[in-house]
Structure 1
Amino acid sequence: MLKVEGLEAAYGESRVLFGIDLTVAAGEVVTLLGRNGMGKTTTINSIFGLMRPRAGRVSVGSTDLTGKAPYLIAQAGLGLVPEGRQIFPTLTVEENLVATARGGKAARWSLARVYALFPRLQERRRNMGNQLSGGEQQMLAIGRALMTNPRLVVLDEATEGLAPLIREEIWACLTRLKEDGEAILVIDKNVDALARFADRHVVIEKGRVVWQGTTPDLLATPDIKDRFLHV
């Protein structure tokens, strides 16, 4: 499904990514791990056309999306839950959900299904985005991405800044999405929580992939967390 090959990116003359390789298959959950400032968000921004890669290739299936406009990448089936949520503060919950919705006969996600996944959003459907708690805004950001009926959902900092109970609710949501066959690429700092439901893990350090493997591989290599993930 998603294939990233030799991805390079830079801010001006300062190179940030040095040949990132990454794949996510249909129905697979993959994590992108690394300390702050190692290139995780830059990788996501380059995939979604928010930053033009200097080199490399991004494709979904047989479609080359390298450097394409973000709306074309969304149409190709990538749904983004961005860092900081970035919901529309002056739209209601329901307006946020339908603003970028993509339907059709084969659509799997609808308002009813999103509300079933997040009953709290239905309860607050007439509230403005800026009237929601941080946890509710994250639920809304996930619901909004699902309403585009993506082939792959990408979450940048899935539970950052959320209370422990809300984090558990988000993890439970992602587990249900996996059980439903959704493909997911997720960034988060909680490696233990990610290991409970993710299939594979990709670790980057200073813009390079330094390790990748399955969850059993990660659990069998405890020094990975000490070498590349702890602050």
Structure 2
Amino acid sequence: MLKVDGLQAAYGDSRVLFGIDLEVGRGEVVTLLGRNGMGKTTTVRAIFGLLRPRAGRVSVDGRDLTGAEPHLIARAGLGLVPEGRQVFAPLTVEENLIATARTRGKAGWTLERIYGLFPRLRERRRNMGDQLSGGEQQMLAIGRALMTNPALMVLDEATEGLAPLIRDEIWACLRHLKDEGEAILIIDKNVDALARIADRHVVIEKGKVVWSGSTPELLRSPDVKTRFLHV
């Protein structure tokens, strides 16, 4: 579904990505792993057109979308839960959810389905975005991405800074989405939790892919954690 080939990107004269390759198929959960500052968020920004790649190719269902405007990326079926959540503070929870909603027939995501997934959002639906806790904002960011009815959802730092109970709720949500066949690309530091839901993993170091493989292969390779994931 999503295919990234040889992606290179830079901020000014500072090159950050040196040829990233990754792929996410329909219904597949893939992680993008690496220590801080290794290029994970830059990869997401380049995929979504928030940073124009210097080289390489980003395609969705075979359609070349390299460097396309973010709204065209979203229209192609990619939904983003950005690092830092970035909810719309002046809008209520419900207004946040409907602000970028796209319909996809009866099987698509609706307000009622989002409230069923996150009952707390129903309780806070009249609250403004900046009146929510960090965990509630993350639920809202996930709900807002789902309301675009994406074919692939990308989460940048899925549980960063959240309390343990809220993290568990987010992981349960992602497990539910996987069971429903949602394709997901996840960035997070909790490798053990990721291994319980992900099919494959891509590890990057200094803007390059240094390891990729299935969950069983990752679990059989403790040296990968030691060399590339531990701070």
Relative to the length of structure 2, the TM-score reads 0.99
Cα deviation digits, residues 98-145 of structure 1 (max 9, x gap): 000001436510101111100000111011011100000000000000
RMSD in angstroms over aligned alpha carbons? 0.7
User: What residue is the counterpart of 1:10 in the other structure?
Assistant: 10
- Stretches of structure 2 that go unaligned for 5 or more consecutive residues are none
| Cα distance in 1 for residues equivalent to 2:78 and 2:48 | 8
User: What residue is the counterpart of 1:163 in the other structure?
Assistant: 163
User: What residue is the counterpart of 2:116 in the other structure?
Assistant: 116
Q: How many residues align?
A: 231
Is contact 2:104–2:149 with CA below 8 Å preserved after alignment? no
SS of 2:66's partner is: coil
User: What residue is the counterpart of 1:176 in the other structure?
Assistant: 176
Is contact 1:7–1:21 with CA below 8 Å preserved after alignment? yes
AA of the residue aligned to 2:88: F
Q: Measured at CA, do residues 132 and 230 of structure 1 come closer, stay the same or move farther in structure 2, by a change above 3 Å?
A: same
Is contact 1:201–1:214 with CA below 8 Å preserved after alignment? yes
Is contact 1:2–1:61 with CA below 8 Å preserved after alignment? yes
User: What residue is the counterpart of 2:62 in the other structure?
Assistant: 62
| Cα distance in 1 for residues equivalent to 2:2 and 2:31 | 13
User: What residue is the counterpart of 1:33 in the other structure?
Assistant: 33
SS of 1:201's partner is: strand
User: What residue is the counterpart of 1:92 in the other structure?
Assistant: 92
Q: 1:178-193 to 2 correspondence within 5 Å?
A: 178-193=178-193
Q: Measured at CA, do residues 184 and 224 of structure 1 come closer, stay the same or move farther in structure 2, by a change above 3 Å?
A: same
User: What residue is the counterpart of 1:126 in the other structure?
Assistant: 126
Identity of aligned pairs, percent?
79
User: What residue is the counterpart of 1:75 in the other structure?
Assistant: 75
- Stretches of structure 1 that go unaligned for 5 or more consecutive residues are none
| Cα distance in 2 for residues equivalent to 1:130 and 1:201 | 34
Is contact 2:7–2:18 with CA below 8 Å preserved after alignment? yes
Q: 1:136-215 to 2 correspondence within 5 Å?
A: 136-215=136-215
Q: Does 1:23 align with 2:20?
A: no
Cα deviation digits, residues 163-209 of structure 1 (max 9, x gap): 01100100000000000000000000000000011000000000000
| Cα distance in 2 for residues equivalent to 1:139 and 1:65 | 28
| Cα distance in 2 for residues equivalent to 1:26 and 1:60 | 11
SS of 1:21's partner is: strand
Cα deviation digits, residues 25-84 of structure 1 (max 9, x gap): 000000000000000000000000000000000000021110000000000000000000
After TM superposition, which residue ranges in structure 1, 4 or more long, deviate above 2 angstroms? 104-107
Is contact 1:120–1:136 with CA below 8 Å preserved after alignment? yes
